Structure 1
Amino acid sequence: MAIPQSIRNVVVFAAGGGLGRAFVEALQREGFNVSAVTRPSNSVSYGPGVTMHRSEYDDFDTLVAIFRGQDAVVSTTGTFAAKYQLTAIDAAAAAGVRRFLPSEYGGNTSLVGVTSYPPFAAEKKAIVEHLRTKESQGLTWTSLCVGIFFSWVLEEGKGTLGWDIDKGDVTIYDSGNQEFDTSTVDQVARATIAILRNLEETENTYVFINSFVATQNQTLSALERIQGKPYKVSHDFWSAARSRGLAALERGEIEAGYHDLVTGTIYDPGHFALFKAEEVGKWKKILRLNEKEDLDGVVTDVLRKKYLI
């Protein structure tokens, strides 16, 4: 497939994790010239065809050298590492990069009042505000807001969003009917590639996409039906989960805080994790995201991957 001449060279920043790997592989399949940046301590390698760079994420001079000649930077920093993109943005602007995609991937940080949300939401909003200051230097941006990585949550367990499918346990938060947007990694990779091919339409703006909308009760019904067994159900409140998460972060318990904080934020009815349907529909049309994905399909794939069916 032909690549527009304006975007050929793409570097994936903070490419040492699962999302970084998915993006690198998807971009490479689509014919882009792909580079990857990881920390010196990360031993990940992508093999022939992908140029590997090792750098600390706050090393401005090294990042400028890496980004020089690149058309776009796609960031895949983790949820609690958003601040490390500040130096990368400065370096991209200095190196003459045309487009920067920050690491959003979960929730609507464009919401008014989002700075009162958990720290990661406010940090991500601050990243976009920093990108706005670089527009005069020729660095454009697209902030891709997507639904929660639903399949990853189910696979991981550990109670995030209430699920531990290995044990057949679920904690239902409030009524269990709170809707939230979900996204598969494949859908997010497709959207990222489409953004790089639709530069004008996606310049300096938020883009909203999903795979489908779900609730906890719908998910529980799908799991029990596909597995043919009942789950053990307990109950809690989204506000209590978020409070526990914030308290854990203050104690320095990052992993424990992460699970509760994300759970409380996704089930908060304040629309951080539920986009406007017309906005999602508009962007799916612009980006030509026509793949049909649904709850049963994702649940079945996860259960098969974990040998639970």
Structure 2
Amino acid sequence: MASQTLNAILVVGPTGAIGKALCEALISQKAEFKRIAFFNDTSRPATEEKQALFDEFRNGGMEQVSGQYNDTTSFAGFDCVLMPLGNHAIKYQPTIIDSAITAGVRHFYTSEWGADLSVGSNWTQRYYQDKVITREHLEKRGRDADTLDLGWTYIQLGRLTEWSIIKHFGIDNTNHVANIYGTPEGRQSLLPIKDAVAYTIKTLKHPFSTANNGHRRTYRFHGSSPTWNEIFNDLETITGHKYAITYHDVETAVEREARAKRLNDVDLELEASHQLIQGRGGTLLPEPYVNGLFPDIHPESVHSVFERIFQDPELKKFIGAP
């Protein structure tokens, strides 16, 4: 059976950190694709900031597709949909998938770009609930007689380096205080956004066939797996400030999650769930890694990423640094 690559790409969720970086990378390599486009969800407010970003994408050569997730016609003419959606939008992926399948799309990159859902207790964690539902939906559709050619790609990297030191994970970069669920020796796998995106673009052009499920792919890309001790040593060296760190029994995050659920505080519930995953080693990426498929990409070190963050006003704001 002939090998295929993915040439007509639609990015759904283009305004987040990963989505924006994916669009910029596609623009920089637009000559290698037949069609590149981003999806404008018309059910969401059209802010000035969003419109400025969309102008930038269009000026770079991307097509704008406007509509809502159940608009089948919006997905026509694409062979692949990338879905770098945020926490609150992941639940819409089954709707997007169904609409796109009806329009003829046969390959999806779901909102992964993170930990391996099959590790430890990850599959049952609240933080990954909608990702699991999406996987199950894809697999169900992939068993249908008329969509046996349905394919998907999961990009697994552990955690994005830039996100490892934000308040969500208990780090206050203004007051140099940290509350960590786990131990100083606890590890997490980290890969910078730019490298995660570079690998993703490479996989779009990586040939596959539908024989032997070759169109249903998982890539594990590894940067490094530092301990919390190593992370805080880097932070203290770069900032010149000592961090006051308190390590908490990871299982107490279960209580925080339950309390957040009672309060109907979804963001706090997701935060507690993610801290539980982290403390149990759920963001440590298991081997085998496949970086060697694309040897021209050399992941940036954690220390280098942190240095870059503290020199960039926008990134400093993102991590809550003064």
Fold shared, TM-score > 0.5 on shorter chain = yes
Distance 2:153 2:227 in 1: 28
Counterpart secondary structure, 2:11: strand
Distance 1:216 1:172 in 2: 9
Contact 2:79 / 2:106 at 8 angstroms: preserved in 1? Answer: yes
Q: What displacement does 1:218 show?
A: 0.7
Q: What displacement does 1:237 show?
A: 2.4
The TM-score with structure 2 as length reference comes to: 0.82
Paired residue for 2:221? 209
**Cα-Cα RMSD:** 2.4
Distance 1:285 1:203 in 2: 20
Contact 1:67 / 1:95 at 8 angstroms: preserved in 2? Answer: yes
Paired residue for 1:54? 66
Contact 1:245 / 1:258 at 8 angstroms: preserved in 2? Answer: yes
Dislocated runs of 4+, deviation >4 Å = 306-309
Paired residue for 2:10? 11
Distance 1:245 1:290 in 2: 38
Q: What displacement does 1:29 show?
A: 0.9
Q: 1:185 aligns with which of 148, 171, 193?
A: 193
* Residues 237-246 or 188-197, more deviating: 237-246
Q: What displacement does 1:219 show?
A: 0.5
Paired residue for 1:298? 305
Q: Does 1:123 align with 2:149?
A: no
Q: What displacement does 1:70 show?
A: 0.6
Paired residue for 1:166? 174
Q: 1:132 aligns with which of 129, 139, 150?
A: 139
Q: What displacement does 1:75 show?
A: 0.4
Q: Does 1:273 align with 2:272?
A: no
Q: Which has the higher contact order (CA 8 A, sep 6+)?
A: 2
Encode CA deviations 1:65-121: one digit per residue, 9 max, x unaligned. Answer: 121111210001112432200011112222222321100122111347544222x32
- Aligned length, in residue pairs: 293
Q: What displacement does 1:153 show?
A: 4.0
Counterpart secondary structure, 2:232: helix
Query: Per the alignment, do residues 210 and 289 of structure 1 end up closer, same or farther by CA in structure 2, a change over 3 Å counting?
Result: farther
- 1:1-309 paired onto structure 2 within 5 Å: 6-31=5-30, 32=33, 33-40=35-42, 41-43=44-46, 44=50, 45=54, 46-48=57-59, 49-57=61-69, 59=70, 62=71, 64-111=72-119, 114-118=122-126, 120-135=127-142, 136=145, 137=147, 138-154=149-165, 157-158=166-167, 160-200=168-208, 203-269=215-281, 272-276=282-286, 278-280=287-289, 283-288=290-295, 290-306=297-313
Distance 1:226 1:193 in 2: 31
Contact 2:192 / 2:299 at 8 angstroms: preserved in 1? Answer: no
Counterpart secondary structure, 1:133: helix
Q: Percent identity?
A: 22
Distance 1:151 1:112 in 2: 24
Q: What displacement does 1:180 show?
A: 0.9
The TM-score with structure 1 as length reference comes to: 0.85
Encode CA deviations 1:38-62: one digit per residue, 9 max, x unaligned. Answer: 32124321332222233333x2xx1
* Residues 242-251 or 89-98, more deviating: 242-251
Residue type at the aligned position of 1:24:
C
Query: Per the alignment, do residues 291 and 86 of structure 1 end up closer, same or farther by CA in structure 2, a change over 3 Å counting?
Result: same
* Residues 235-244 or 83-92, more deviating: 235-244
Query: Per the alignment, do residues 243 and 209 of structure 1 end up closer, same or farther by CA in structure 2, a change over 3 Å counting?
Result: farther
